[in-house]
């Protein structure tokens, strides 16, 4: 999304759904994906510790 709320008009890379400008970890969407992945991994680790004695 652009600052105005519209969509980027650049052509998307095949198989990704995003243009080259809006790909990677440094983009807002990329950062959000990394944070979500880290949070999920942290919860899995906590579940392992909680049920580790079982």
* pLDDT of residue 49 exceeding 90: no
pLDDT tens for residues 2-43? 667 777 788 887 877 778 777 777 777 778 888 999 999 999
Domains in the chain: how many in total? 1
Phi-psi region at 34: left, alpha or beta (left = phi > 0; alpha = psi -120 to 50): alpha
- Res 53: pLDDT: 62
- Res 48: pLDDT: 83
* Domain hosting residue 45, numbered range: 1-54
What letters, b where the CB count within 10 A reaches 16 and e where it falls short, cover 4-13? eeeeeeeeee
């Amino acid at each position: 999304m652009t600052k105005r709320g519209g969509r980027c008009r650049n052509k998307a890379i095949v198989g990704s759904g995003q243009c080259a400008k809006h790909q990677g970890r440094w983009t807002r969407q990329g950062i959000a994906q990394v944070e979500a992945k880290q949070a999920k991994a942290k919860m899995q680790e906590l579940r392992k510790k909680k049920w580790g004695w079982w």
